Amino acid sequence: MKTVDTLEIEPQRGLLRFTTAGSVDDGKSTLIGRLLYDSKSIFEDQMDQLEESCRRRGKDEIDLSLLTDGLRAEREQGITIDVAYRYYATPRRKFIIADTPGHIQYTRNMVTGASTANVALILVDARNGVLEQTVRHTYIAWLLNIKHIVFCVNKMDLVDYDKSTFNNIRQELDTLVLKLGVEDAHFIPISAKMGDNVVDPSEKMFWYDGPTLLSLLETIEIEKDWEFTSKRFPVQYVIRPQNDAFHDYRGYAGRISGGVFHKGDEVLVLPSQLKSRIKTIDQYKTSLPEAGFGESVNITLEDDIDISRGDMIVCSENPPLIGQEITMMVCWFNERPLQPRNKYIIRHTSSEAKCVIRQIEYKVNINTLEQENDCQQLKMNDIACISIKTTKPLFFDEYRKNTITGSVILIDEATNETVAAGMII
């Protein structure tokens, strides 16, 4: 075997994860199909299989949704039930698409897809303008703290590529974006079916001078969204080799969830509140001078402190909030409703506790964004603000400041099912 001396490693843009929400008729599958097809990410054997599936179902045209709907039940019913993950790459970037169904009864799937996304694509039908579902999709993206929202005003071919139609919709979207406080919004007039402004610029819409969808996705900057200010290191696992070479080694394994840690930094350990200094930051056989957000490392400390899974190593000048009474936005996932006084298991970073629901503060009507008070229970797909009390203190940040230390899931102790996604406010 040859060694890799001819290898050229280029510093490029990393991964971009985006989510798409859409309903059956708004052309979402066509859009994804076009992104995959035009970036040559659909392979010949997949295309053969697809043609065969379409023939068997008596379709004249190739239905690209059969490519993304992976389960037998989905193909039979012609709907997307679950989140499907798709992968494609261009020479400039690699992409992960979390493709989710867009109807209100799939709000929980949209929330799941959005939880890991950097960018949300929202499709608006140029003939219909801003609908309830546009508001819903935008709200969910905003709620999950997706900083970049790309509105694709689709089916421009059906409105004669009319500039003023696009501008009117854009104005309405601007109002929505402003109301919610979306940080970075983009608006592109496209025709997924004809290919205008998806991969190639549209000749018909000469009046649009912005980027195509693909080139926007390739260049959108997400690095500045990472949390570099407050150091957070939830301990996942303790590594103690206890062999001759590493007799006294005690490494705290975890993934940095905020800030940049340096060798020699003074740190605070929670919940013990003890202070120490970072002795080493190890990544396999390499000792690093520093490590930042997203990196999986081992941290060793100067002092011998009792630390285990669920503890957190942080900076002493800007520690997280510590408490047992927590208010959060939740999306409810389960058929069994949430009610005050119900008890659940709560998972937050690497720690686990129990909690009791104290109160439903208000429910959000996700079509109108109005708050509804006097709510006694939450049903599947409801989004609401609740307050809880935990059996032990959690160390957390507001979700909008740090999506990792600000997020939780609730688990039903009887069924072990994940029943809610929570975002601390």
Footprint on residues 70-109 left by other proteins (CB under 8 A): 70-73, 75, 81-87, 89, 94, 96, 108-109
Structural Rg of the chain based on CA atoms? 24
Q: Which is nearer to other proteins, 36 or 126 (CB)?
A: 36
Are β-strands 383-396 and 321-332 bridged in parallel, bridged antiparallel, or unpaired? antiparallel
Distance CA 420, CA 346 (A): 9
Instruction: Out of 62, 216, 345, 380, point to the residue binding other proteins (CB under 8 A).
Output: 345
Q: Are strands 119-125 and 148-154 parallel, antiparallel or unpaired?
A: parallel
CB of 161 to other proteins, least distance (A): 33
What SS3 class is residue 176?
A: helix
The pair of three-digit structure tokens given for residue 347, joined into one six-digit string: 């998972």
* Alpha carbons 143 and 132: distance in angstroms, whole number: 16
- Judged by CB under 8 A, the chain residues 6 through 35 that form the site for other proteins are 6-15
User: Cα–Cα distance between 417 and 379 in angstroms, integer?
Assistant: 15
List the one residue from 26, 112, 121, 159 that touches other proteins (CB under 8 A).
112
Residue from 38, 39, 53, 199 binding other proteins (CB under 8 A): 53
Q: Residue 222 interacts with other proteins (CB under 8 A)?
A: no
| CB nearer other proteins, residue 73 or residue 178 | 73
Per-residue x/- mask for other proteins, residues 115 to 154, rule CB under 8 A?
xx--------------------------------------
Nearest approach, Cβ of residue 237 and other proteins (Å): 5
> What is the C-alpha to C-alpha distance for residues 405 and 423, in angstroms, rounded to an integer?
10
The helix or strand, by DSSP H or E, that contains position 156, with its residue range, turns out to be none
Q: How many residues bind other proteins (CB under 8 A)?
A: 83
Residues in 349-378 that interact with other proteins by CB under 8 A: 349-350
Residue 133 CB, nearest distance to other proteins (Å)?
Answer: 21
DSSP secondary structure letter of residue 75: H
**Least CB distance to other proteins at residue 394 (A):** 13
Q: Which stretch binds other proteins (CB under 8 A): 147-155, 195-203, 384-392, 407-415?
A: 407-415
Under rule CB under 8 A, residue 281 binds other proteins: no
Q: Quick check: 53 and 134 in contact, CB under 8 A?
A: no
Per CB under 8 A, which of residues 231..270 are in contact with other proteins? 236-237, 239-243, 245-246, 249, 251, 253-255
Determine which residue in the list 102, 205, 407, 424 makes contact with other proteins, applying CB under 8 A: 407
Q: Which is nearer to other proteins, 67 or 355 (CB)?
A: 67
Which are the contacts of 300, defined by CB distance < 8 A and separation ≥ 6?
A: 249, 250, 251, 252, 278, 279, 280, 282
195 burial level (CB within 10 Å; 0-12, 13-18, 19+): middle
| H-run or E-run covering 32 | helix 28-38
Binding other proteins by CB under 8 A: which of 49, 128, 219, 273?
49
For 283, phi and psi rounded to 5 degrees? Answer: -130, 105
Question: Which of 46, 145, 189, 28 has the alpha carbon at shortest distance from 98?
Answer: 28
Quick check: 44 binds other proteins (CB under 8 A)?
yes
Cross-strand bridge partners of residue 277? 266
- Residues 155-184 close enough to bind other proteins by CB under 8 A: none
